[in-house]
Amino acid sequence: MTEDLSDQAAILVMFKTYLAEKNNWLDFASFMHHALFDPQYGYYMRDTYKFGSRGDFITAPEVSDLFGRTIARQCAQILQMSGGSILELGGGSGVLGSDILLELDRMDCSLDEYLLFEPSAALTERQKERIGRLTPNIKSKVRWVSEFPKNFNGIILANEVFDALPVHLLSLNADGWQERGVALDNESLTWQDRPIQDERLHHVIDGLDVNTPYVTEVCLAADSLINELSQSLNSGAILAFDYGYEHCNYYHPDRRDGTLSCHYQHKVDSDPLERPGHKDITAHVDFSRLAHAAHDVGLEVAGYVGQADFLVNCGITDLLASFDPDQLDTYLPVASAAQKLLSPTTMGEMFKVISFTRGINEPLFGFSHRDRLHML
C-alpha cells in the first residue's frame, strides 16, 4: 500500500514535469500517451500482468486458441496471393502469434517470417518467453522489429491496438465546443477545457449534430498509423480487430459521455485522471475514420464485419466440430470459449474486423457474408 502511494506520488511528479513544459495544459492525447507509455511509469511499460484472470482485462486471443487458429485460415488465403510474412502490431503476451504460427504449421502453409512490433519492452519479454516455447523450426521464423519493414509483402495484424492509441477529447458545453485537456490544480490532476486549435478537430465537430452536454473522442493517431502501415505495405492485407462503431454510431447523439474507459483488475471506470499509469485507458475505434484514412493513402477497403461473422466466415465452426462433444472435459471449455468469442452479448458484435488491401485481387473469405462496408 505504501509502495502504491509513493508510486502515485512519483507519477504526479512525472505529470508535473510534462505539464510544466506545456504551460500547465496537456491535450488528452498527450496525457494518455504518457499514462500508457512513459518509459518508467506508463501502464504498458510496467512489467505487470495485464491480460487474463491475473491481469486487468481479457482479449480474444487470451480467451481461446480458436481465435488465432481461425485467423490463421484467413492468413493462409492472403499468403497464397501475396506470399511473404506476417507483421503483428502490439502482440500482447505473444499468444496470438504463437497460435497463428502453430496453425499455419499444421496447415503446411508457407510463411517467410513472423515479425512482432511491440513498443513495450516488458511485453516484448513476455512475447519472447511465449514464443520461446514453440519448436525450433517454428520459432526460428519469429523476429522482433523496432520499425515497420519496407516493401512488406503479406499480412499486418492488429488486435486491440487501435483502441490503445491516444485520443483527443472534445467537449460541448454552454461555451460551445472546446478541447478537453488536463491541468494541475491544487496538487491534483483536473480537467480543463480550451479553445480548439487543431483544424482536424474542427473538421470533426463541423459534422456533428448533438446536444449539450456532450463529450467525445477523436483519434488522430489512427490516421498516422494507417499512413505508416500503407507506406510499409507493398502487397497484402492489413487486418484490424477492435471494439468500436461506424461514424454515425460513434458520434450518436445519445452517446453523450463518449467511449473512453479504464480497465483495472477486470473493473471498468471512466476516470483516467485517477491512478494513471496503473490502469489501461482505451477508447472505442471509429471504423469510418480508419476506412477514410486508408482510402486517402491508396489502400483498398476490402471488408468490414462483426467479429462473430468474420470468425464464422473463416470456419470457426469447423474447428469446433473437430472436438468430440462426448468428451466433456475438452469439449465444454472450447464450446464456452466459442460462445464468448461469438455471442452478440460478449465479443461477437461489439468487436469488428476491418481489412485494407493492396494488390489482392480475390475477395477475402472472412468478409464473404454479412459485409457492412456500406455502413462506414
Ligand X SMILES: C[S@@+](CC[C@H](N)C(=O)[O-])C[C@H]1O[C@@H](n2cnc3c(N)ncnc32)[C@H](O)[C@@H]1O
Residue nearest to ligand X (CB): 90
115 interacts with ligand X by CB under 6 A: no
State residue 276 phi and psi, 5-degree precision.
Answer: -60, 150
Instruction: Choose between 177 and 284: whose C-beta lies nearer to ligand X.
Output: 284
90 interacts with ligand X by CB under 6 A: yes
Cβ 309 to ligand X shortest distance, Å: 19
With vertex at residue 203, the alpha carbon angle to CA 198 and CA 207, rounded to the nearest 5 degrees, is: 145
Binder to ligand X among 160, 217, 242, 286 (CB under 6 A)? 160
Among positive and negative, which fits the CA dihedral 305, 308, 311, 314?
negative
223 interacts with ligand X by CB under 6 A: no
Cβ 105 to ligand X shortest distance, Å: 21
Instruction: Choose between 62 and 371: whose C-beta lies nearer to ligand X.
Output: 62
Instruction: Choose between 63 and 172: whose C-beta lies nearer to ligand X.
Output: 63
Instruction: Choose between 25 and 264: whose C-beta lies nearer to ligand X.
Output: 264
C-alpha cell at 50: 495485464
* Segment holding 352, helix H or strand E: strand 351-358
Please answer whether residues 249 and 304 qualify as being in contact, where contact means their C-beta atoms are separated by less than 8 angstroms.
no
Instruction: Choose between 43 and 304: whose C-beta lies nearer to ligand X.
Output: 43
No. of helices (H) and no. of strands (E), the chain: 14, 16
Binder to ligand X among 15, 28, 41, 51 (CB under 6 A)? 51
Please answer whether residues 150 and 74 qualify as being in contact, where contact means their C-beta atoms are separated by less than 8 angstroms.
no
290 interacts with ligand X by CB under 6 A: no
Instruction: Examine residue 213 and say whether the peptide bond preceding it is cis (omega within 30 degrees of 0).
Output: yes
Q: Cell 514464443 maps to which residue?
A: 131
Instruction: Choose between 161 and 302: whose C-beta lies nearer to ligand X.
Output: 161
Binder to ligand X among 117, 245, 304, 351 (CB under 6 A)? 117
State residue 220 phi and psi, 5-degree precision.
Answer: -70, -30
Interface ranges with ligand X (CB under 6 A): 44, 51, 59, 61-62, 89-92, 96, 117-120, 123, 159-161, 164-165, 225
